[in-house]
Amino acid sequence: MKKINYAFLKPSKTEKKTNVELIDGIPFMRSPLWQPEENEYMSNFLYNLEIKADSLFLLGCLNSVDVTHPAWGGDDGLRNFFIGDSAGEMTIGYASGKTDTIPLIFGHTAWWDNNYKASPEPFRSDKKAKIQLDDALCVANGVESYTNTSKNYYLKIKLRDELVKWIRFTDNPERVGYYQVEGLTFSGIGGKLSSEKYLTESGDRLSDDKISWSKKS
């Protein structure tokens, strides 16, 4: 299989290693890019990106508090989560001034790990329910995640045919935790990249089943 090039932002000077790993053939540098609760000084804004690419892969997709509700339930709206609830937004800004906003919605662009693996019904046994979830969920490796222990969840976001200038993440203050962003990888690179900002890594094209999934993006 012919290799293709991917690109991601260089690690900060304080990081000791790049920690690059391949997930479904896509290279990611697993490094938290947004931790508003652990690090109040970490910006929710990635600016001066200056990159043109076909797609952006986002690794993470879980809530930092990976629990759908408190023990024994309760009426605390801050901690009770349901499919369709919002974790926040991701906005991509382009050189033309245009922007695209991706809503971070549980069951669509956000997912759970612990609770789903512990209680995957009705999706494990009900074929119709599983198909409905698969149709709605854009998070790769989410539907079948109860079959393994990994947390290799990611989104594929189709980009406009122009230069990306910045990316901003906005948290939903009405829910506990925040949307985890553990890596951003660009594919289909157009033009020259700044060697001071980016690292490049070769990887594989998506497998046939992932290609089918990626058409939802």
What is this structure's pTM? 0.88
Domain map of the chain by residue range?
4-64+84-111+153-214
Pair 51, 192: CB distance under 8 Å = no
Distance CA 130, CA 43 (A): 37
- Give per-10-residue mean pLDDT for the chain (217 aa): 82 64 91 69 78 95 80 56 89 97 95 89 92 92 89 94 95 87 93 87 79 66
d(CA 191, CA 188): 10
In contact, 6 and 205? CB cutoff 8 Å:
no
Report how far residue 85's alpha carbon sits from residue 150's, in angstroms, rounded to the nearest whole number.
24
**CATH of the structural domain 4-64+84-111+153-214, one choice from 2.60.120, 1.10.150, 1.10.1760, 2.120.10:** 2.60.120
The predicted pLDDT at position 187 comes to 94
Q: What pLDDT does 72 receive?
A: 47
Please name which of 37, 212, 73 lies closest in space to residue 134, comparing C-alpha atoms: 212
